[in-house]
Amino acid sequence: MITSHLGFPRIGEQREWKKALEQFWAGKWDESEFRFEMERIQQRHLMESVQGGIDLIPVGDFTYYDHMLDMAVMFGMVPKRFGHPGGAVTLDTYFAMARGNEQATACEMTKWMNTNYHYLVPEIGEGEPYLAENKPLQAYRFAKARAGVEGKPVIVGLYSFLKLSKGYAADSFSQKISSFLPVYVEMLRQLEAEGVKWVQIDEPCLVWESSVADQAYVREIYEAIATQVPGIQVMLQTYFEAVDNLHDLLQLPVHGVGLDFIHDRGVHLQALKEIAWPQDKWLGAGLIDGRNIWRADLTEKLKWIETICNHVPKDKVILQPSCSLLHVPVTTRNEDALEPMIQGALAGAREKLQELNILRDACNKGTSSVEKPLWESKEALQQFRSLAGRHRPDTAAELAGLDVRHVTRSASFAVRHRLQAEKWQLPTLPTTTIGSFPQTPEVRRARRLWRKGEWRDDQYEAFVNEQIEACIRTQEEIGLDVLVHGEFERTDMVEFFGEKLAGFVFTKNGWVQSYGSRCVKPPIIYGDVAFTEAMTVKETQFAQSITSRPVKGMLTGPVTILNWSFVRNDLSSEQVANQIALALRKEVEALEANGIEMIQVDEPALREGLPLKASRQELYLEWAVRAFRLVTSVVRDTTQIHTHMCYCDFHDMIPSIEALDADVISIETSRSHGELIEHFETYAYKLGIGLGVYDIHSPRVPEVKEMTAMINRALQLLNPRLFWINPDCGLKTRGWPETIEALKHMVEAAHQARAELQTPTR
């Protein structure tokens, strides 16, 4: 029995990767300095696995931005708007595809399956693929030369790559396989010629419910690989869910199949009992949770391994995490500010590698060889489970007193819309933003000084109020109709609320990558969640007191807080979401009681939690919608509820979005080049809606005509009386000059659109 893993966090223990990217983007390093530093980080990245005692080490899980972007440029899939002449892609073009530039908008960004990692969506188009450069081969050579590692190249499978790409008609999928397969095979042939023994081919889309045609496509791909590249052993890797057709998958001509035993709901262990595992095939057994931060119950895992080895030869089992460790922090060893019993229950990527080694040694050498670490693991979990604060009778009693199945606003949207229009007297096509404004170095420094105790509370509050007032004046000068306070007191949109609610704890360095250089530090929900005091009233009330225009209260919704946290694993997601919703409901009541009557409850991660199996999605959406309505249904009819969603494929859940019953929803559509608009041709959305008219994750400032074109396209399908104009996301990552210029363009585009509608402004 040996160990492996599917990928390690690329950001580094001190986020060195993020800092290198931002130094280069800021022009502080030239390309040679940047590449030198990235190679140093990549070498250290490899040494994590070497020092972690892993037997079969992945290579190619390191990237300069995103693994799907790497696949696209490897196959020459560069959209025409970037002016790429062919051949290997330059670093400038690579990052232009990721972030956009003055000449071209960035590629679309969306969630990687049901995680909070965002990938760049390849645009296939009509171009013919070619092998511009062999990135897995480069990674293999680098690992061998710089770390002495005989690596296992990690490659996105062709089936999943095409399924997760865009730019071609659904009925041409077979043709795309035919055009890409020879190039894919050539890439593998070069690995074979180099002497590569194992490749890990990631096929996450195989956990989706598949058609007969899809299964035929997969057979075509892997039969071609087996025939044309016979010298390489292929580990066909799945994760995030159970594989339904495991028997059929085992008939493919591959040398091993990797399965997720954590998020499969027990399906795979049961399947092993019912099928005859081929004696010549390896099993990659994903027994350590690659998506959550909790320490594994190693005694339980050993029982699972015993069951597995009753059906799979022990010498054909590879112990590994359930998925790439990209989704957890590098380590939790430095979190000494946490209560010891909580810290002892946590495991980052480094600790999860140690857990794999303990399990391997227990199986190969006997449990007596690892008696101490097994005892330490058991003791740590027992202490954590008995921790005070894990269970709150008051929270349970309050939820028991609410009928969460029937939470609705007191009046229909039609009635509310009329009352709100009379109250607010906004112009047609009102303009607003999503909530946050630039978090400058001065803002971050002030927060850091306050957290360290070097600034008094009143000193920090005065600073924040200065920022809020400047932000309000800027919005007034730009001409926005509905304002926000700017969120200068907040770090992360989930962390901020978690710090003020019971049931959460926080790490100092528990960073994970969300997209590009954007890293987040997910809160840890270790116990029952409860409201303790008002969280947003003071700043919002101050902002409203200095302007005559409406100011939105800004909250993060219960499902997003759930999905963007490391969540306790002893309750269902629905139970935890309802606890969060109950706490946020009290905050909404506090805002309204203090005169804030526009309240935005953001749910950007609503789709992220959507089960990958279509058969389980309806149930999830039902309780997710209920949790949102539990927060918002308590307000008066004249109080306007907003929400926001971004960077997901929403077209198939518009009815559920409408069921949220928010008075206004803003949805990202600029980065996907307005494709969501097409879906309103067949679905008449009846509530207020704003489709983001420009991409805030790119440094480019779009011209007025670009925004006007987006607005006019949307107004062909949406009611102008219900349409709002806004950016596609919050502005915290942008600088002030580009923010102001872009918002001025947006307001001008709104004015032009109003004029075309021949509707007088106020």
CATH code of 191's domain: 3.20.20.210
Is there a single domain that holds both residue 609 and residue 723?
Answer: yes
Work out the number of other CB atoms within 10 angstroms of the CB of residue 617: 17
Task: Tell which of 328, 362, 390 closes a domain.
Answer: 328
Inside any domain, residue 386: no
Copy the structure tokens of residue 419. Answer: 């009352």
Residue ranges in 410-490 assigned as alpha helix (H): 413-424, 441-451, 457-478
Copy the structure tokens of residue 655. Answer: 């009815």
pLDDT in tens, 152-176: 999 999 999 999 999 999 899 999 9
Contacts 24+ apart (CB under 8 A), 50-54: 50/147, 50/148, 50/149, 52/350, 52/353, 52/354, 52/357, 53/3, 53/353, 53/354, 53/357, 54/3, 54/4, 54/5, 54/353, 54/356, 54/357
Copy the structure tokens of residue 230. Answer: 């016979």
Residue 669: which residues within 8 A CB-CB, separation 6 or more? 675, 676, 677, 691, 692, 693, 710, 714, 728
Share of the chain above pLDDT 70, in %: 97
Is there a single domain that holds both residue 142 and residue 281?
Answer: yes
List the binding residues for L-methionine.
434-436, 487, 602
Q: What are residue 110's phi and psi, to 5 degrees? A: -150, 175
Average pLDDT over residues 302-309: 97
Average pLDDT over residues 202-206: 97
Sheet holding 524-531, edge to edge: 501-505, 524-531, 566-567
As a whole number of angstroms, the distance between CA 712 and CA 720 comes to: 10
Give me the pLDDT at residue 762, please: 43
The answer to whether 720 and 758 have CB atoms below 8 angstroms apart is no
How far from 689 is each of 11, 97, 225, 555, CA to CA, in Å? 37, 29, 48, 18
Copy the structure tokens of residue 720. Answer: 């102008």
Q: What are residue 182's phi and psi, to 5 degrees? A: -60, -35
Inside any domain, residue 560: yes
For the chain, the distance separating the N- and C-terminal CA atoms, rounded to the nearest angstrom, is 73
Buried b / exposed e along 632-659 (16+ C-beta atoms within 10 A): bbbbebebbbbbbbbbbbbeebbebbbb
List the binding residues for L-homocysteine.
434-436, 487, 602
Share of the chain above pLDDT 90, in %: 84
Report residue 36's pLDDT band, with 50, 70 and 90 as the boundaries: very high
Is there a single domain that holds both residue 455 and residue 321?
Answer: no
Task: Tell which of 309, 328, 347 closes a domain.
Answer: 328
pLDDT in tens, 229-248: 999 999 999 999 999 989 99
As a whole number of angstroms, the distance between CA 234 and CA 222 comes to: 9
Report residue 710's pLDDT band, with 50, 70 and 90 as the boundaries: confident
Place of tokens 């700043």: 539
As a whole number of angstroms, the distance between CA 239 and CA 644 comes to: 29
As a whole number of angstroms, the distance between CA 353 and CA 349 comes to: 6
How far from 544 is each of 298, 483, 485, 553, 736, CA to CA, in Å? 54, 9, 8, 9, 22
Inside any domain, residue 356: no
Inside any domain, residue 394: no
Is there a single domain that holds both residue 422 and residue 321?
Answer: no
Report residue 667's pLDDT band, with 50, 70 and 90 as the boundaries: confident
Residues taking part in catalysis: 697
Is there a single domain that holds both residue 417 and residue 308?
Answer: no
Task: Tell which of 267, 300, 328 closes a domain.
Answer: 328
The answer to whether 663 and 416 have CB atoms below 8 angstroms apart is yes
Q: Please tell me the total count of domains within the chain.
A: 2
Buried b / exposed e along 457-473 (16+ C-beta atoms within 10 A): eeebbebbbebbbebbe
Using alpha carbons only, how large is the chain's radius of gyration in Å? 26
Is the model's pLDDT at 623 over the cut of 70?
A: yes
Element housing 36 (H / E): helix 31-51
As a whole number of angstroms, the distance between CA 366 and CA 555 comes to: 52
Amino acid at 487: E
Is there a single domain that holds both residue 290 and residue 434?
Answer: no
Closest to 258 in 3D by CA, of 272, 243, 237: 237
Is there a single domain that holds both residue 185 and residue 57?
Answer: yes
Helix (H, G, I), strand (E, B) or coil at 42: helix
Place of tokens 């029982």: 303
Give me the pLDDT at residue 669, please: 67
Is there a single domain that holds both residue 751 and residue 632?
Answer: yes
pLDDT in tens, 726-755: 998 889 988 999 999 999 999 999 999 999
Predicted TM-score (pTM) of the model is 0.90
The answer to whether 537 and 41 have CB atoms below 8 angstroms apart is no
As a whole number of angstroms, the distance between CA 352 and CA 347 comes to: 6
List the binding residues for Zn(2+).
644, 646, 668, 729
Inside any domain, residue 345: no
Inside any domain, residue 76: no
Is there a single domain that holds both residue 305 and residue 438?
Answer: no
Is there a single domain that holds both residue 36 and residue 128?
Answer: yes
Report residue 679's pLDDT band, with 50, 70 and 90 as the boundaries: low
Q: What are residue 346's phi and psi, to 5 degrees? A: -105, 155
pLDDT in tens, 439-469: 999 999 999 999 999 999 999 999 999 999 9
Report residue 681's pLDDT band, with 50, 70 and 90 as the boundaries: low
Inside any domain, residue 372: no
Residue 11: which residues within 8 A CB-CB, separation 6 or more? 17, 18, 330, 511, 512, 513, 519
Average pLDDT over residues 224-233: 98
Inside any domain, residue 258: yes
Give me the pLDDT at residue 552, please: 97
Task: Identify the burial level of 288 via C-beta atoms within 10 angstroms of its C-beta, where 0-12 means exposed, 13-18 middle and 19 or more buried.
Answer: buried
Which range of residues forms the domain containing residue 23? Answer: 2-64+110-328
Residue 171: which residues within 8 A CB-CB, separation 6 or more? none
Is there a single domain that holds both residue 430 and residue 323?
Answer: no
Give me the pLDDT at residue 718, please: 86
As a whole number of angstroms, the distance between CA 692 and CA 647 comes to: 11
Give me the pLDDT at residue 595, please: 96
Report residue 761's pLDDT band, with 50, 70 and 90 as the boundaries: very low
Residue 671: which residues within 8 A CB-CB, separation 6 or more? 105, 106, 108, 109, 647, 695, 697, 728
Is there a single domain that holds both residue 313 and residue 415?
Answer: no
Task: Identify the burial level of 85 via C-beta atoms within 10 angstroms of its C-beta, where 0-12 means exposed, 13-18 middle and 19 or more buried.
Answer: exposed
